[in-house]
Amino acid sequence: MHLLVDCTQISKKKAGVGVYALNLVRELAETYPGLTMSLLAQGDDQDFDIKRPNVTLIKVPAWLCRKLLFRFVVEQLYIPLLTILRSFDVVHSLHYSFPLCPLRAKKVVTIHDLTSYTVPEHLLSVKRAYVRFFLKCSRRLADQLIFVSKSTQNDYLQRFSRKLDGCHVVQLGKGPDFRVDLDRELVEQVCAKHTIRKPYILSLGMIEPRKNLARLIEAFSIVNASYPGYTLVIAGSKGWMYDGVFEAVHRHNISDRVIFTGFVQEKDKPFLIRGAQIFAYPSLYEGFGIPVLEAIACGIPTITSNISSLPEVAGDAALLVDPTSVIDISNALERLMSDQELREELSRKCVIQAAKFSWKRAASETALVYQQAVVENRFASSVALRKNLF
């Protein structure tokens, strides 16, 4: 099988979808040496330069990929041309958008969430319209759809009717570096690198409205006086509509207790998580929630939301809260700050819950989707041939 994976939407600073893309293609390349893979990626992104005989990297100038209009042209014209020149069997688009014209190759599209419909006010209008357009097109023009959680699939099917045999849930995984037995000295080094003092509550992810950081900051300000030793660490790069987060820190007069690290390199993330006393992720909506899985894999007592995919990921290894309730979030923080037995109980449950997710499993299930797409294609060709013969 000859596979083209479109990674042009993945930025150099990888979070969420970028973590998914990189781990998936690495695992596919290693687990399936007979799978011939071509990766279409931004020209200055070296992460996808995977040194394996079954992987070819096709570079596109980065400036083309970082402008929506130009990336659209690459997707709608260049990819179809590649499928003709190189005879791909499957084209896998990793993030919503995909070539709309008919291709010889089968189209597999990964859908990460329905944020553009569930919390549309938290997206810029251009991005909201762009994503909605491709979600609507995916109903008829994609051959196979991959959803990163049962929750996301349910959201999609409730809005767009589609046959279930073309829809697949492939839950995401966590890397081998996210574990409980990390070197304590390296944990201390990473904390020092980011000027973080212990004990700290960690929230990890891009700073944008959907992450609900303003409420987390307010909840922290409520328990702040009772637990003066704690700091709140918000790790992640600025996304969009983030001014309210910084305003909340000043409004509650806790600037000396909140640390913004900015973007955190993937190699530092496990140590930053492992050093935390509590991980807090009260997101308003998630298609999966990789940071929650990574925190659980590191054995860190976690607070997350009781909506969307997050209970699916966290299981009973986290405290689930109403993300719209500051009181609910602050009560959960106070429980974990004050109750060591509860923290230890959640840490034990973390190991069991995290074991359910792996990138090897995600790659295996994705490969089955490719196989199903190709088999259906051959079956359709066989039917067409019979019609012509008889």
390 versus 332: which is more confidently predicted?
332
pLDDT in tens, 199-245: 999 999 999 999 999 999 999 999 998 998 999 999 999 888 889 99
Q: What is the pLDDT of residue 390?
A: 31
Of 39-53, 98-112, 348-362, which range is least confident?
39-53
* Helical packing angle, 213-224 and 326-338, nearest 10°: 50
387: pLDDT strictly greater than 60: no
Could you read off the pLDDT of 135-170 as tens digits, one per residue? Answer: 999 999 999 999 999 999 999 999 998 888 899 999
H helices of 315-358, in order, are: 326-338, 340-354
Residue 307 backbone phi and psi in degrees, to 5: -130, 170
Name every residue whose Cβ is closer than 8 Å to that of residue 90 and which is 6 or more positions away in sequence: 1, 2, 3, 4, 105, 106, 107, 108, 370, 373, 374
Angle 326-338/340-354 helices, nearest 10 degrees?
Answer: 100
Rounded Cα distance between 217 and 222, Å, is 9
Cβ burial, residue 266 (10 Å; 0-12/13-18/19+): middle
Res. 123: pLDDT tops 90: no
Q: In what order do the strands lie in the sheet with 318-321?
A: 258-262, 231-235, 200-204, 278-281, 302-305, 318-321
Residue 7 pLDDT more than 80?
Answer: yes
10 vs 66: CA distance, rounded Å: 9
| Across 66-70, average pLDDT | 85
pLDDT band at residue 382 using 50, 70 and 90 as cut-offs: very low
Q: How far apart are CA 246 and CA 219, in angstroms?
A: 15
Report CA dihedral (142, 147, 152, 153) to the nearest 10 degrees. Answer: 60
What's the confidence (pLDDT) of residue 67?
85
Residue 386 has pLDDT above 70, yes or no: no
Q: Which residues of 64-74 are buried (b: 16+ CB within 10 A; e: fewer)?
A: bbeeeeebeeb
* Two structure tokens written together for 271: 């140590």
| Tens digit of each residue's pLDDT (9 = 90 or more) over 327-351 | 999 999 999 999 999 999 999 999 9
Pull the structure tokens for residue 348: 């034990």
Neighbouring C-beta atoms of residue 232, cutoff 10 Å: 24
Residue 69 pLDDT: 87
**List of domains in the chain:** 2-173+358-389 (3.40.50.2000), 184-354 (3.40.50.2000)
pLDDT range class, residue 68, cuts 50, 70, 90: confident
Is the per-residue pLDDT at 63 higher than 90?
Answer: no
Average pLDDT over residues 93-118: 95
Nearest 10 degrees: CA dihedral of 165, 169, 175, 176? -80
pLDDT at 14: 78
The Cα–Cα gap between 158 and 289 comes to 21
* 37: helix, strand or coil: strand
Residue 319 is which amino acid? L
Show Cβ contacts of residue 231 under 8 Å, excluding neighbours closer than 6 positions.
196, 197, 199, 200, 201, 257, 258, 259
Q: Which spans in the chain are helix H?
A: 17-31, 62-65, 68-73, 79-86, 115-118, 125-141, 150-159, 184-193, 213-224, 243-251, 269-274, 290-297, 310-314, 326-338, 340-354, 359-389
Average confidence (pLDDT) over 57-66:
89
Of 141, 131, 143, 146, the C-alpha closest to 97 is 131
Residue 257: count of CB within 10 angstroms of its CB: 20
Of the spans 47-51, 238-242, 386-390, which averages the highest pLDDT?
Answer: 47-51
Coil, helix or strand at residue 93? strand
The mean per-residue pLDDT over the stretch 295-317 comes to 97
Residue range 247-268: mean pLDDT, rounded: 93
| pLDDT at position 377 | 61
Structure tokens at 2: 């000859």
Q: What percent of the chain has pLDDT over 90?
A: 82
* Of 301, 292, 299, nearest in space to 182 by CA: 299
pLDDT in tens, 178-208: 999 999 999 999 999 999 999 999 999 999 9
CA atoms within 13 A on the CB side of 7: 33
pLDDT of residue 378: 59
Asked if the model's pLDDT at residue 388 lies above 80, the reply is no
Position 15 scores a pLDDT of 78
**Are the beta carbons of 4 and 79 closer than 8 angstroms?**
yes
Answer whether 379's CB lies under 8 Å from 387's CB.
no
Query: What is the band of 379 on the pLDDT scale with cuts at 50, 70, 90?
Result: very low
Res 110: pLDDT:
97
